[in-house]
Amino acid sequence: MGATTANAAYMYDEVEEIRNLNKVEGFDPRRYMRIIGQEGQAGKYYLDVAFRKLWFRLKYPEGKIVKKILKLTDQVAIVEARVYLHRNDSEENFIANALAQKYRTEDGQFGNKFVELAETAAVGRALSDAGFGLQFADKEEDIDKYVEIVNKFPNVIKYELLGYHTMGVFKYNELGIKYRLDGVEPLSVTRLKELQNYANSKLTI
């Protein structure tokens, strides 16, 4: 039987400034992440919404998350979630917001819980945009955005990814300029190949 695995190379591990974003002493969100994906295929690390909310409460105990149902029928729910740093902040003084839409399905366990699912999805996305989970964005998601643009140009015959490297660092040292990516490890050849193969599978050229 196959197993689901994931590549742990996300921005959180590579850039100190990202690790320090919404840092809470004694709380490591990586301990609560799980892998989601199909068995036998590479999965993605995911931080459940409950742990994103916990993280937010630890960082901003006076903060609040406001949910608003924008549309509700017997088949669909559209919910907006807004994140505020303080419970006394005015309605428009939110730091992040997100929308989510869910439909009623025939699923026996969750089909009738489409409103709750929409609320959870909206809160999760809003918290991620506020910096509680965005640090673990999967690089494949970035590739998807680039590929979407490339596919719009029919005259493109090749799309090649170039990995970050440190070959030019010495120039900064010679000129006495601080190298802002100091400590960032170059992308491994294996990982670059994985991302290139992923991009190739999405390209229509």
What pLDDT is recorded for position 39? 61
Alpha-carbon span 82 to 98, nearest angstrom:
7
Helices (H) and strands (E) in the chain, counts: 7, 6
- Chain position carrying tokens 């010679």: 174
Show me where the domains of the chain are located. 5-136, 139-202
Report field, pTM of the whole predicted structure over 0.85:
no
What pLDDT is recorded for position 142? 67
Vertex 162: Cα angle to 3 and 139 (nearest 5): 40
Domain 5-136 belongs to what architecture? 2-Layer Sandwich (3.30)
10-residue mean pLDDT series, the chain (205 residues)? 47 77 93 75 78 97 97 95 96 93 86 93 93 77 74 83 80 82 71 81 80
What pLDDT is recorded for position 8? 46
Strand partners, 144: none
CA distances from residue 170 to 146, 160, 163, 173 in whole angstroms, order as listed: 30, 26, 18, 5
